[in-house]
Structure 1
């Protein structure tokens, strides 16, 4: 059910080194490495941990950059979960669509308490 969990960090290189080492014995490694975010896990088909510099460029702190992502299994599933969340009172943080061409399709919402959620599929 869970695709990945994001943790905001202030130093991406240090975070990748720390979590890469910490999780290595579990078979995890950096799978996707981009400008401000890296995904660490066993495979893109299994739950991952993402470490990132917060998108809003504010200092990283608990809750800032933190997000829970759910993998519904298809683009149609992403769309359906996004629309259901909105119908249940969530607010849009990014409508469904490709975020990284041929790699990532997702949608973002904040629940009624302001917790950021993502619905995604890695293609």
Structure 2
């Protein structure tokens, strides 16, 4: 249903490194790099995350209320993704934990540009 999601960044090299490393355990890598935009994912036929510098040349701004939620596959994987993101330069926006009893386990970070990410597991 989703082809790709794009987020604005200030430093393309840093953003590509952050997301390619963060998502490498899921088999993701930089698939297409066009200079001011790069697509990261498992294949061009599956959902991707794109990082880009804003087209208008102005400073990127993380959206208020916007968030990218990445399925982790297990509670342990949520913890691992959260820890890896922090090691790669993200900041905590909600430590891993059970949010809704027996339904939702999640963790939240802000990438180096302030974009909000969630790592989650239902059930």
Partner of 1:29 in structure 2?
Answer: 29
Q: Please give the per-residue CA displacement for 1:22-49, whole angstroms capped at 9, x wherever unaligned.
A: 0000000000001100000000000000
Distance 1:20 1:47 in 2: 14
The two structures, once aligned, show a CA RMSD in angstroms of: 1.2
Aligned length: 64
Runs ≥4 residues deviating over 4 A = none
Distance 1:23 1:54 in 2: 23
- Name the TM-score, length of structure 2 as normaliser: 0.50
- Name the TM-score, length of structure 1 as normaliser: 0.50
Distance 1:21 1:35 in 2: 19
Q: Secondary structure at the match of 2:38?
A: strand
Give unpaired runs (5+ residues) of structure 2. Answer: 67-123
Partner of 2:17 in structure 1?
Answer: 17
Partner of 1:5 in structure 2?
Answer: 5
Give unpaired runs (5+ residues) of structure 1. Answer: 67-123
